[in-house]
Structure 1
Amino acid sequence: MRGSLTSAASRQTYPESENARRSQTPIAPAGLQPSGSVRRAVVLRLGAISLRIDRRSIVVGFLLLAAVIGLAVLGLYLGRPQEGAVGAVKAIWGDGSEQLVRSVQQRRLPRFLTACAVGGSLAAAGSLFQSLTRNPLGSPDVIGFTAGAAAAAAIHIAFFTSTVWTTGLFAVLGGMAAALGVYLLARRSSRTGGLRLVLMGIGTAALLTAVTDAVIVRADFSDAQALQQWTAGSLTGRGWSHVVLTFGTALALLPALIPLARRLSVLELGEEAAASLGVRVERLRLTTLIVAVILVGTAVAAAGPIAFIALAAPQIARGLARSTQVGIFLPSLCGAFLLSGADLLSQELEIGLQTPVGLVTSVLGGLYLLWLLARRL
């Protein structure tokens, strides 16, 4: 009798235990679930540092790199079909006619490299901000940091003798001031929520954009024309000094970007969970703001306030990798591809003599933002 009761109790308990185990199993978001029980990954070790990379992300990264190289060849070849693609590439090393070599080395190549560096920097900053706020709208062009950098750079260009280096310094300082203002406005009860940071940033961006417009109105005619083109986002006339500024800044910040991306992936689990795992949340926020604003400031100084790249590149990279953990390199490659491709498109458009690349990215960004809002609301 006792044995039958025990058997009956066990028959009633096991289904409940199975259901409980199923209810406690975490489910990945749709479209981002790993294939199989465990996603295949490659672990790279360099001394005490180890880096886990998903194999699909590696494949996507190589494909994006190949696409960027293809755009580079197309950009060098554009406008001179008689020289051929091979001749345009050889001109990089000085092989070809004097006119072709000068065009490639002094105009096309630095313009393309600046586009890659600016796109990669904006995408990296956007990835950091979106992880920090846990919001796909948390990009520097939406939450006011790009507007702060643009306002300070516009003031410097309009009223002072400017170079790419001094403009970069003013842009970084302006972005820092905007970031500090947004951070203090969003801070409440010793914490800074991601949604609150985004909302305060949107209001700050509107105010700082008005400041930039006022500077253009008050500037001299020649300065106003240059500022109008610059604030639209332009890569026209970019030289090697812009390449050194943007690539140099990105490489200098690389040792900080990799560990930041790893810690921010933990923060995406939630502030309490991250704190329980030893992450100092507020220190991580401040460090992320500083590093990302420097990237944004140098990008704005080189090409003006370009929209869409920081907003969309991280999300596109996540979609291609089918993972929420894409690190910093994949969004950067995606951003470099998007901006260099948009620049080539802007050179082919017959809208005036020089179509700003920011016009192309703004159109694409508006469509992307409408799609994102329609999907989530």
Structure 2
Amino acid sequence: MTNAQLDFGRRVYHLGPRSRPLLLIDARSAILCVLLWVATAALGIFAIFSGDAAVTLPEALAALSGHGTEFSTMIVLEWRAPRILLAVILGASLAISGAIFQTLTANPLGSPDVIGFQTGSFTGALIVMLLFQGGALDTMLGALAGGVVTAFVVFLLASQRGAARGVRLIIVGIGVSAILASLNTWLLLTAEVEDAIMAGLWGAGNLSGVTWPTVWLVAASSAVFLTGAILLARPMKLTQIGIPFATALGQNVQRVQAVAIIVGVGLTALATATVGPISFIALAAPQIARRLVRTDGLALGPSAAVGAFLLLLADVIAQRISPDSPLPVGIVTVSIGGLYFLWLLLREGKKP
């Protein structure tokens, strides 16, 4: 076929003239994304009508269509729906950020929560909350500033001959993260008890109290960074093959790395500033996605789908494991992460 080629094996849907492919879609990745998004939608529907406040499925659907009672409308549209959408958006954002940094460092441990960016965001938020008694907006801005400054310091210290190398970046990031974690502990210990408790709850990652203005703001902001991530996919694949190879093809590796850092840090800082640090999603979602699609590439689409499903699942569990005192979602993601890495360790231990 000259204008369209379909192959339902490993690859591809090839659209456009054969000499200049317009779109290349991995069949396995496409099927996986569809299944994961269907599962996420089903989980979202379950989260809409289930929970401590009793709302039946017909009542929830009526509220979503604008014909619900005052009670069901408040539960569904004001409390649950924005929380579900925010979990999906932030899960996808964190997963894509992790995929970018793992590709950038050529290391599966090179996620933003390992190399210090989330810790830096928490530091910025703590300084605003505990030292300046800032409000919600001030805390978000402080978290954004903390993440950006931490990323700048880490990449400045890790850069060598104009480029940040993978292992060096991870080592520097872990060191900076350890220093900032000590600073965070000191800030919490020296603060007033009530302020420290509130800051600690925020630092555990919490989706409670989400409103529609927050959802729209996060959706618009993340859309900008996600567009940048999509545009970075091809240049980063060349960089993944090797920096000398990409340079030989005329690619400005330093510029690609700089833009990738901005996009990755932006997605992580946005999530952290909105709901606090949420561990595991950025680290494990890209790894799970690559295992499912059996590729070593960037896998942005599958990573986003896995991240959205995992964070929504963690939030559903966090709200229902103890309805009288729901857990912060960050505690559940860490627990799921521990189980995942335990399984991974046992699986690797069985290999000869």
**Contact 2:96–2:303 (Cα < 8 Å) also in 1:** yes
Number of the residue aligned with 1:18: none
Q: CA deviation at 1:327?
A: 3.8
The one-letter code of the counterpart of 1:300 is T
Local SS of the residue matching 1:52: strand
Q: How does 1:74-153 map to 2 (within 5 A)?
A: 74-79=46-51, 83-153=55-125
Deviation per CA, 1:113-147: give whole Å up to 9, x if none. 11111111111100100110111101000000111
1:211 equivalent in alignment to 2:188? no
Q: CA deviation at 1:302?
A: 1.4
**Contact 1:146–1:305 (Cα < 8 Å) also in 2:** yes
**Contact 1:153–1:167 (Cα < 8 Å) also in 2:** yes
**Contact 1:71–1:341 (Cα < 8 Å) also in 2:** yes
User: Which of 315, 318, 336 pairs up with 2:287?
Assistant: 315
The one-letter code of the counterpart of 2:12 is R
1:297 equivalent in alignment to 2:269? yes
Number of the residue aligned with 2:223: 251
**Contact 1:64–1:337 (Cα < 8 Å) also in 2:** yes
Number of the residue aligned with 2:232: 260
Measured in 2, the distance between the counterparts of 1:76 and 1:51 equals 36
Measured in 1, the distance between the counterparts of 2:184 and 2:212 equals 27
Measured in 1, the distance between the counterparts of 2:45 and 2:285 equals 22
Deviation per CA, 1:301-350: give whole Å up to 9, x if none. 11111110000111111122222335423211211100000000111113
Number of the residue aligned with 1:344: 316
Number of the residue aligned with 2:30: 58
The one-letter code of the counterpart of 1:174 is G
Local SS of the residue matching 1:268: helix
Larger Rg, first or second structure (1 or 2)? 1
Shift of the 313–301 alpha-carbon distance from structure 1 to 2, 3 Å rule, reads same
Number of the residue aligned with 1:275: 247
Shift of the 58–255 alpha-carbon distance from structure 1 to 2, 3 Å rule, reads same
Shift of the 88–326 alpha-carbon distance from structure 1 to 2, 3 Å rule, reads farther
Q: CA deviation at 1:258?
A: 0.9
Local SS of the residue matching 2:241: coil
Give % identity. Answer: 38
The one-letter code of the counterpart of 1:349 is I
Local SS of the residue matching 1:151: helix
Measured in 2, the distance between the counterparts of 1:178 and 1:304 equals 16
Q: CA deviation at 1:371?
A: 4.8
User: Which of 139, 151, 167 pairs up with 1:179?
Assistant: 151
Q: CA deviation at 1:262?
A: 1.9
Q: Which runs of 5+ in 2 are unaligned?
A: 1-6
The one-letter code of the counterpart of 2:193 is F
Shift of the 178–280 alpha-carbon distance from structure 1 to 2, 3 Å rule, reads same
Deviation per CA, 1:8-58: give whole Å up to 9, x if none. xxxxxxxxxxxxxxxxxxxxxxxxxx996x72234489xx99442211111
Measured in 2, the distance between the counterparts of 1:371 and 1:273 equals 36
Q: CA deviation at 1:368?
A: 3.0
Q: Which runs of 5+ in 1 are unaligned?
A: 1-33
TM-score by length of 2: 0.89
Q: CA deviation at 1:241?
A: 3.1
Number of the residue aligned with 1:335: 307
Indicate the larger mover: 81-90 or 357-366.
Answer: 81-90
Local SS of the residue matching 1:112: helix
The one-letter code of the counterpart of 1:68 is T
Number of the residue aligned with 1:22: none
How many aligned residue pairs are there? 341
